[in-house]
Structure 1
Amino acid sequence: MVRILFLHPDLGIGGAERLVVDAALALKARGHEVSFLTNHHDPTHCFKETSDGTLQVQVVGDWLPRKIFGRFYALCAYLRMMYAALYASFVLSHRENIDVFFCDQISVGVPILKLAKRRPKIIFYCHFPDQLLSIREGYLKSVYRAPLNYLEEFTVGMADVTLVNSKFTLRVFGDTFQRLDVVPDVLYPSLNTQYFDAMQKKIAAMPSMEFGVKACEEIPRNAFIFLDINRYERKKNHALALHSFRLLIDALSAPDSKRCRLIIAGGYDDRVVENVEHYNELRQIVSKLELQENVILLRSPNDDEKFMLLHKAHCLLYTPDNEHFGIVPLEGMYMSKPIIALNSGGPTETIVNNSTGFLCEQQPSKFADAMLQLYKDDALRERMGVMGHKRVQQKFSFEAFTDKLNNIVETVIKPVWTKESSKKKDA
């Protein structure tokens, strides 16, 4: 059994959070002891496994500021993670025999973790280079980011194992960290399909189950639902879904347009200014496009609500440009829904164009054409759904994810075990 501590900055709701939670569940299923150390965890805004006792979570450093004068978010995030790393190295590692630290998102804590008792191995999972996630705002911003960017590159290279979430991110990693002599391994995120299968059985036993989502109670039973799941951030490009949906409505007859619904379900945290601002921006777009009767904006649906949305939906829209990987398309395909996504980034590795969905250029007219095609052709929609489900089972199964991750952990820890065994023999 290996003792593994996951360090994650904010254990809320999102693709990165889903990845580390699934990674912890996978390793726990293989008999390892796992737990989380994080800077923030809200039991009302998180994945169920981190609040129901399935996974142990400890919070440190939440008293540290998230921003200074409305700015310096990255600097504060780095300082918060450094504090967590110090706590892990000089408190937890003396209290517990930790074998592996699994870090993601922010690498600045890696050199601090190397100071821990017994020198645990360090795995760093790069969802995407942090420096590429910040919005460029001129010379002062570049000066502010310069030392943080250097720290990121320097500290990423200190991990014992580096992982990335897609071949797309692997290429970006190489282009960004050109001074590093590190070639990460690709570990695709997966789905904890046991939950989906259990919910499917529940639905089969009660086929008349309603949405379970209050805002969706008045949707007519014959509605054709397009679903867009992603955080309320501008880079997630929800506006593309709205403008495309408007073009679709214009192309349909009056009865058909009344039947169509677009549900945008986004992760929302009122502590995050962009979430609040962008949600209001989207409400304004809905009003401007006169789609109030056809569009529903949901904030932070829980796991069961999200499942019901996927179950009731006819088609999933995925609008981010150059997304690093994107777990939502896998969820949609596993639920046998055709996916319409941008032809860039991680979705080009998960979605097969004209087979499990459509990969489109970033133009509302292209998205609207694909939406219209799926609306009109039931057989095509069903065929793409079947192919999508099969693709997830064959290429992105939770079993394959678990096997690879477990092998990585056991390989990185093997030299330590071998060394300790030799000492025992010598004694």
Structure 2
Amino acid sequence: MSLKIALYYPYIHLRSGVERTILEVLKRSRHDWHVFTNLYEKDTTYPEFEDFKSRITEFKKISVERSYFNTLRSAWVIFNQKLPLEGFDALCVHNEGLGGLINFKNKDIAKISICYTPLKIIYDDVLRKDYVLKNLHKAPFYFLFYFLFKVIDKKAFELYDLCFCISKEVRDRILKNNLLPDYKLKVLNLGVDTMYFSGNTGYENYFFHPTRIKWWKNIELSIEAFNIAQMEHEGLRNFKLIIAGELYKTNNSYYEKLKKMAAANKNIIITINPSEKDILNLYKDCRAVLSTTLNEDFGLTVLEGLSFSKPVIAINNGGPKEIIKNGITGFLSSPDAREYASYMCKIAMDVELTMQMGSLGRKDIIKYNWSNFINYIDDFLENLSNKARKGMAKNLRL
């Protein structure tokens, strides 16, 4: 049974986990999906989207710049946007903040959400505290936005029939803030293409930090920790730290800050907007993969590193805590640079341990695959569509 499914996501403009998931759905689902968005930038997202350009409709453009004014203006556009949903069986909203506002003008259809996180700056306790401490001069504007958005967002969430959360961390944020009851939530982890992220791997003398260049990715930590590790252990003097990721124009000031931090150490390399081939090669031959986000929603780069048989060092919070077996497939660290550096040293000085961890990590993440994720979504949409036709959608349980 093939259904016609509308997919909404406000902006397809990066090579992030959301765009990767949407692309995998378009490639693998047995249903007929059509993507509605307010921003499609083919030159900065995955080039494979062009294979599906006939199934992408772009509405009034919105800004991805995160000032309060632009965020409110974008929210207003989404809130008032009516999608052409005649003939569609369901609407699937990919939500990481503002996406759920599309529900208000599109009520008469079965709706689900794939939630990567409710808006991080509001619902991620760790990020919120960090942001407020670093931006005390903006606190009055922040708290006004905070209380206004929470009221509206709760009403938007209540319009979903069901919500798939990409991690327990995301589910807990939704429950803690009373956005939806538990029976309307299911944890459904994203996948990784274990055939694509694999191959003959080496363990060369560099740490690889794949990331988007964005302030809440906390990239400063890998730079600080690497400097400490090199100063305290002579065996790391010939190691490099390679930070590689996507830089969007709204994050240029943060990039400049990172460049200044790294300038004193010629062994720290920051590569901006690398090709997919370059990313794969960096994964393939690194000693270990790094993740430094204070409270990661899930952690696709963690999965990709483990898929390449590499141990991963990540922060002991959020999604990585659900994926990594501490001391077995990688290390979970506090955000303290000295502790993080100690794990870098362990991996650098013990190749046998590195290879053992990598092998166990590869075996452990086989369960995270796109086929399981998309088949579950496909099956559920069929069930939802059948029940919606009978007027039973509100009685669904996961």
TM-score (norm 2): 0.87
Match of 2:350 among 355, 374, 377: 377
Q: Which runs of 5+ in 2 are unaligned?
A: 133-137, 392-398
Q: In the alignment, what sits opposite 2:252?
A: 276
Equivalent position of 1:121 in the other structure: 110
Q: Tell me what 1:425 maps to.
A: none
- 1:208-256 CA-to-partner distances (Å, cap 9, x unmatched) read xxxxxxxxxxxxx995110111111221111110011001111232xx4
Deviations 1:66-105 (A, max 9, x none): 569x54232123123235x41x2xxx324xx211211122
Larger Rg computed on CA atoms: 1
Which one is further off, 9-18 or 382-391?
9-18
Equivalent position to 2:243, from 250, 254, 264: 264
Check conservation: 2:113, 2:163, Cα contact below 8 A: yes
Q: Secondary structure at the match of 1:346?
A: helix
Alpha-carbon contact 1:48-1:303 (below 8 Å) kept: no
Contact 2:291 2:315 in 1 (8 A): yes
* Aligned-pair Cα RMSD in Å: 2.4
Aligned partner of residue 265 in structure 1, secondary structure:
strand
Question: Which one of 294, 300, 319 corresponds to residue 346 of structure 1?
Answer: 319
Take 1:34 and 1:194, find their aligned partners in 2: how far apart are those partners?
25
Equivalent of 2:72, from 71, 75, 91? 75
Find the residue that maps to 2:241 and give its secondary structure: strand
Question: What letter is aligned with 1:244?
Answer: A
Does residue 261 of structure 2 align to residue 285 of structure 1? Answer: yes
CA deviations over 1:309-351 (Å, ceiling 9, x no partner): 2112120011011211111100100111100011111111100
The reply on whether 1:309 has 2:282 as its aligned counterpart is yes
- 3-state SS, counterpart of residue 362 of structure 1: coil
User: Does the Cα contact within 8 Å between 2:111 and 2:161 map onto a contact in 1?
Assistant: yes
Matches of 1:142 and 1:159 in 2, distance apart?
Answer: 26
Measured in 1, the distance between the counterparts of 2:280 and 2:293 equals 21
Whether the 8 Å CA contact 1:228–1:264 is kept in 2: the answer is yes
Aligned to 2:28: 26
**Residue correspondence of structure 1 range 100-249 to structure 2 within 5 A:** 100-103=90-93, 104-105=95-96, 106-114=99-107, 119-130=108-119, 131-132=122-123, 135-136=131-132, 137-177=138-178, 183-196=184-197, 200=199, 223-249=204-230
| 1:55 Cα deviation after fit | 7.7
d(CA) in 2 for partners of 1:21 and 1:226?
29
- In the aligned structure 2, how far is the partner of 1:334 from the partner of 1:178? 34
Q: What's the counterpart of residue 333 of structure 2?
A: 360
CA distance in 1, matches of 2:42, 2:9: 15
In structure 2, do the counterparts of structure 1 residues 320 and 20 end up closer, same or farther at CA, with 3 Å as the change threshold? same
- Tell me the distance in 2 between the aligned counterparts of 1:54 and 1:193: 26
Within 1, Cα distance between the matches of 2:168 and 2:215? 24
Instruction: Give the distance between the partners of 1:178 and 1:4, measured in 2 at CA.
Output: 24
Amino acid at match of 1:240: L
Shift of 1:193: 3.5
Count of aligned positions:
374
Is the CA contact 2:245–2:273 (under 8 Å) kept in the aligned structure 1? yes
Q: 5 Å matches for 1:381-400?
A: 381-393=354-366, 395-400=367-372
Percentage of pairs with the same residue: 21
1:250-277 Cα distance to aligned partner (Å, 9 max, x none) = 1232xx444211111122111x1xx111
Report what 1:215 is aligned to.
none
- Give the secondary-structure state (helix, strand or coil) at the position aligned to 2:74: helix
Tell me if structure 2 keeps the 8 A contact 1:249–1:257: yes
Letter matched to residue 98 of structure 1? F
Residue 395 of structure 2 corresponds to which residue in structure 1? none
* Distance 1:61-1:402 versus aligned 2 partners, 3 A rule: same
Change (3 A) 1:294 1:67: closer
CA shift in 2, pair 1:126/1:53, >3 Å = closer
For the Cα contact (< 8 Å) 1:22–1:192, is it kept in 2? no
TM-score computed with the length of structure 1 as normaliser? 0.81
- For residues 282 and 123 of structure 2, the distance between their equivalents in structure 1, rounded to whole angstroms, comes to 32
Quickly say closer, same or farther: Cα 1:248–1:38, change in 2 above 3 A: same
Distance (Å, rounded) in 1 between the aligned partners of 2:63 and 2:349: 52
Residue 170 of structure 2 aligns with an amino acid whose one-letter code is T
Match of 2:394 in 1: none
- Which residue in the other structure is 1:213 paired with? none
Residues 181/309 of structure 1: CA separation in 2 closer, same or farther (3 Å cut): closer
Partner of 2:39: 40
| Distance across 1 between alignment mates of 2:319 and 2:193 | 19
Give the Cα separation in 2 of the matches to 1:359 and 1:378: 19
- Aligned-partner Cα distance in 1 for 2:40–2:293: 26
